């Protein structure tokens, strides 16, 4: 199935799920509808992942390597802008109407997006046969094991997600219980991080033209590691805020590196299949880290947990040694 078809299906199905939930809000009570929302949220998450994989696959296959970092930067700017705008819009909808109005609102962007993908495919009259062999996992893993540079990109992305998972899974508890901040403090920090990322995306393409995109990405990784280390230094909320912004704010530049560089390492044929496996290996870090943090909080303070993860990430970074293994050049090659 063609990438554009998958993008159309992922968006149209998400729009229908949102519309379905909005209609159900008039039929079921709040206590009953929650049991429907939970499984349908899993459906939304699944198609969100499918859309992410196919969008990256479509961009990587149709944009040349020189322009790819700039295009990825613009895409991530839009993504980060939604992290700022969405909470504001949702807050107004919930305040003026109800929480179910959010489903009605979400229906329209997905519907518009699916219409755009449909028109784009019709206009270009793209013809691509489905892969008859399906997923060949042994071949994909054999390729990954034989590609050290790609393995190191996967490892760095995994560690980046470990740092984010450690922070995001404990943030609400630390902000409200340890620092006694209001509940909206977490949303405010996410909005601040989104603003930082949006600003970074204006600068990132210029940095990638001056330096190798790998230098930009690994530097962003080290900045995130410094932010994680700051969390373990003391109980000052201003330091926590700075560390939070460093970790979450550096995500954009790092993703710019990981998306652009791994696109040059993954075969163009069956790109989405290879990318799907890579993303599973990367994304498993977040729930795994969240589970570990939830259990560690029963025995250690949040400072100790951040220190444990900081040491772990630093040791793994030294073992990976990306500066040597990825063969960096000072200027973009």
Q: Is 327 helix (H, G, I), strand (E, B) or coil?
A: coil
d(CA 15, CA 269): 30
pLDDT at position 223: 94
Q: Where are the alpha helices (DSSP H) in 63-184?
A: 68-96, 101-124, 137-145, 148-173
pLDDT at position 195: 82
SS3 string, 213-238, reads HHHHHHHHHHHHHHHHHHHCCCCCHH
Sign for the pseudo-dihedral over CA of 51, 53, 59, 61: negative
pLDDT at position 332: 45
Q: Where are the alpha helices (DSSP H) in 266-301?
A: 271-283, 285-296
d(CA 217, CA 193): 18
What are the structural domain ranges in the chain?
Answer: 1-66+99-125, 136-322
d(CA 171, CA 192): 14
pLDDT at position 134: 55
pLDDT at position 327: 56
Residue pair 133/260 in contact by the 8 Å Cβ criterion: no
DSSP single-letter state for residue 28: S
pLDDT at position 25: 84
pLDDT at position 326: 58
pLDDT along the chain (333 residues), means of 10: 77 90 84 81 78 75 74 73 72 81 89 87 57 67 89 93 90 87 78 79 75 84 93 82 88 83 82 82 86 89 91 94 61 44
- Long-range interactions of 84-87: CB distance < 8 A, separation 24+: 84/191, 84/194, 84/195, 84/198, 87/187, 87/190, 87/191
HSE (side-chain half, CA atoms, 13 Å) at 32: 6
Which is the CATH superfamily of the domain at 136-322? MFS general substrate transporter like domains (1.20.1250.20)
CA-CA distances (angstroms) from residue 144 to 42, 155, 254, 282? Answer: 29, 12, 21, 13
């Amino acid at each position: 199935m063609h990438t554009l078809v998958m993008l159309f299906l992922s968006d149209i199905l998400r729009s229908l799920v949102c519309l379905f939930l909005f209609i159900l809000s008039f039929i079921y009570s709040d206590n009953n509808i929650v049991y429907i929302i939970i499984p349908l949220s899993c459906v939304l998450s699944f198609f969100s992942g499918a859309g992410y994989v196919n969008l990256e696959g479509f961009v990587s296959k149709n944009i040349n390597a020189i322009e790819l970092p700039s295009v990825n930067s613009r895409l991530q700017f839009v993504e980060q802008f939604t992290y700022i705008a969405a909470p504001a819009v949702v807050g107004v909808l919930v305040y003026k109407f109800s929480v179910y109005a959010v489903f009605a609102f979400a229906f329209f962007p997905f519907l518009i997006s699916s219409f755009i993908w449909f028109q784009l495919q019709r206009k270009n009259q793209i013809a691509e046969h489905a892969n008859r062999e399906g997923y060949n996992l042994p071949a994909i893993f054999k390729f990954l094991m034989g590609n050290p540079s790609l393995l190191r990109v996967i490892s760095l992305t995994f560690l980046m997600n470990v740092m984010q998972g450690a922070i995001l899974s404990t943030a609400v508890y630390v902000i409200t219980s340890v620092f006694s901040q209001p509940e909206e403090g977490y949303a405010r920090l996410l909005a601040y991080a989104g603003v930082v990322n949006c600003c970074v995306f204006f600068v990132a393409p210029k940095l990638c033209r001056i330096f190798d995109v790998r230098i930009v990405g690994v530097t962003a990784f080290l900045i995130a590691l410094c932010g994680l280390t700051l969390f373990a230094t003391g109980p000052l909320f201003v330091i926590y805020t700075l560390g939070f912004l460093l970790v979450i704010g550096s995500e954009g530049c790092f993703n710019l590196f990981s998306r652009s560089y791994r696109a040059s390492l993954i075969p163009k044929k069956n790109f989405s299949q290879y990318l799907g496996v890579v993303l599973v290996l990367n994304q498993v870090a977040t729930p795994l880290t969240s589970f570990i943090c939830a259990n560690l909080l029963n025995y250690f303070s949040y400072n100790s947990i951040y220190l444990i993860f900081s040491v772990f990430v630093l040791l793994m970074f030294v073992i990976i040694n990306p500066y040597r293994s990825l063969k960096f050049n000072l200027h973009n090659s």
